Each structure stands twice: as C-alpha cells, then as structure tokens.
C-alpha cells in the first residue's frame, strides 16, 4: 500500500520564504522540528514566471546543509538543460511545468533515466486531465494552487476540485504517484486539500513566517493535515 493510501502526509517547506542570509540555520531548524521529509526548492528564471529567485547552484549548498530530500520545482523554460547537473548533486525529485515543456514526454523520461523522481506541475489554468498521456512517466503531480512566481499568495479555492481530479488520475495508475499541492497552503487550506487526496503539502510563508517560528509553523500544519483523519 502506498503512503498516500495509508493517509501519510508529507510536509515540504519552500525555502523561497526562508531568510536567505541564514539559510543553513533555517535548514537546521526545519530538520530539528522533525515534521518535514523534504525541502522544496523554487527555481525561477524571469521568463516562464516574472521573478528570478535563485539558480541551480543553490542545490549543492542545500545538499550539504541538510539530510532531507530536495524537491526541486523548475519554473523555467527549457528545464532539460539542468537535469544532469541536478542529478549529479543528488536531487531526489525534479518537477517541470507542462506549460514550459513542448517535449514533456521526453523531459520526464530523461529525469527518471538520470535516477531522479519525475514531477509534472500544472498551472491553475491547465486542465488536470492533460497529465493523463504521460502518467506512466510521472512520480508526482504538482497541482499549483496559486499562479506560480510568488510566495504568500492566497489559495485559489477552485483548486480543491483539481486536487481531487489529480488524485483520481493517480489512483488509476499502476504505480504510486504523489499529489503535491503548492501555493497558499496554511492551517486553513490544508484540511480540504488533504481530504481531496493531496499527500505532499508545500508551504513557504506558513512555515518560515510563522510568528512562533519554524517548528511551530510545521507543527501547526501537521496538525491541520491530520485533522480529518
Ligand atoms: C510559488 C512557488 C511556491 C511558493 C509557495 O510559485 O512554487 O512553492 O514558495 O509559497 P507559499 O506557501 O507562501 O504560498
Ligand atoms: Zn513551488
């Protein structure tokens, strides 16, 4: 039985909301808190999305700063240029956007060929069904619950239906597929997405900007995610 089927929910803190001047300390605080099993790394190129966040060179720095898995979300055009480099660093999961990849079938296959887990991210305006043609090549569907590019945006309420549609696709596949939600995940929005079938929750602001600190933010999210179970 997959972890998702057992109701295990993973938390993936997004370092986009971290204090970049104290990144190592913040990684240590996430790891010490004990609720997260991966770090979400939002790479933006100023083209696919307007902002430029940081480049792939942050990955070796993170790899040496934490034992947690790295879950890299590429919001860039031609992401295939960086797959080999990310594999070399020891990245566990790479997600690419369907909207950025005319050759998404080839790209997902290449990510896996290099020994990483392949994620397919879908913008709020993209029908979830578009994932169906490449499902065999996907280990994770990233349902964007905001328009990508910025942290701290409000959760798009229509997203719950999209999460349920992604979960239905995943459950029909012959291998386990994670349903990751990304954007506006808080103690208020987490219960509904978990109930709809999400099993990986990305959270930036709710973790790094929590008034009680990183551990308190993680604990609150964990409690909210388990509330319906
Ligand atoms: C948005 C990024 C998200 C972002 C989430 O484009 O993909 O991962 O960091 O931030 P919050 O949790 O603050 O909405
Ligand atoms: Zn992200």
| DSSP letter for each residue of the chain | --TTTTT--EEEEBGGGS-GGGHHHHHHHHHHH--BSEEEEEEEBSSSSS-B---TTHHHHHHHH-SSEEEEEEESSSGGGGHHHHHHHT-SEEEEEGGG-TTHHHHHHHHHHTT-EEEEEE-TTS-GGGGGGGGGG-SEEEEESS-TT-SSPPPPTTHHHHHHHHHHHHHHSSS--EEEEESS--TTTHHHHHHTT--EEEESHHHHT-TT-HHHHHHHHHHHHHTT-
Angle in degrees, 0-180, between the axes of helices 23-33 and 58-65, rounded to the nearest 10? 50
Each domain of the chain, given as residue ranges in start order, spans 3-225
Strands 117-122 and 140-144 come out as: parallel
Give me the pLDDT at residue 227, please: 79
CA 173 – ligand 2 centroid, Å:
24
- The residue among 117, 145, 123, 120 whose CA lies nearest residue 131 is 120
Active-site annotation, residues: 42, 182
Ligand 1, atom 10, lies closest to the CA of: 151
Give me the pLDDT at residue 1, please: 41
According to CATH, the superfamily of the domain at 3-225 is Aldolase class I (3.20.20.70)
Compute the distance between CA of residue 222 and CA of residue 9 in angstroms, rounded to an integer: 8
Give me the pLDDT at residue 50, please: 98
Tell if the pTM clears 0.85, that is, is over it: yes
Q: Do the Cβ atoms of 225 and 201 come closer than 8 Å? A: yes
Ligand 1, atom 4, lies closest to the CA of: 151
Ligand 1, residue 14: give the atom nearest the CA.
9
Q: Mutate which of 36, 39, 202 to test ligand 1's pocket (most atoms within 8 Å of Cβ)?
A: 202
Per-residue pLDDT of the chain (229 residues; tens, 9 = 90+): 445 555 789 999 999 999 999 999 999 999 999 999 999 999 999 999 999 999 999 999 999 999 999 999 999 999 999 999 999 999 999 999 999 999 999 999 999 999 999 999 999 999 999 999 999 999 999 999 999 999 999 999 999 999 999 999 999 999 999 999 999 999 999 999 999 999 999 999 999 999 999 999 999 999 999 876 5
Give me the pLDDT at residue 228, please: 67
Strands, sheet with 69-75, edge to edge from the N-terminal-most edge strand: 10-13, 200-203, 178-182, 140-144, 117-122, 93-97, 69-75, 38-44
Q: Which ligand is nearest to the CA of 123?
A: 1
């Amino acid at each position: 039985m997959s972890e998702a089927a057992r109701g295990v929910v993973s938390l993936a803190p997004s370092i986009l909301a971290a204090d970049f001047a104290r990144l190592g300390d913040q990684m240590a605080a996430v790891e010490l808190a004990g609720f997260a099993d991966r770090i979400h790394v939002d790479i933006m190129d100023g083209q696919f999305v307007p902002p430029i966040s940081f480049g792939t060179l942050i990955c070796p720095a993170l790899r040496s700063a934490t034992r947690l898995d790295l879950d890299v979300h590429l919001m860039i055009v031609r992401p295939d240029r960086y797959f080999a480099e990310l594999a070399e660093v020891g990245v566990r999961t790479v997600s690419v956007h369907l909207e950025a990849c005319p050759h998404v079938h080839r790209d997902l296959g290449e990510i896996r060929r290099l020994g990483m887990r392949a994620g397919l991210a879908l913008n709020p305006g993209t029908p979830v069904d578009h994932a169906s043609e490449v499902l065999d090549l996907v280990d994770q569907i990233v349902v964007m619950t905001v328009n990508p590019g910025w942290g701290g945006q409000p959760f798009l309420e229509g997203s719950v239906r999209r999460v349920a549609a992604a979960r239905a696709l995943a459950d029909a596949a012959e291998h386990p597929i994670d349903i990751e939600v990304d954007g506006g995940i808080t103690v208020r929005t987490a219960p509904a997405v978990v109930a709809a079938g999400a099993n990986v929750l990305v959270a930036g602001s709710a973790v790094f900007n929590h008034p009680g600190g990183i551990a308190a933010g993680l604990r609150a999210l964990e409690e909210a995610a388990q509330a319906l179970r």
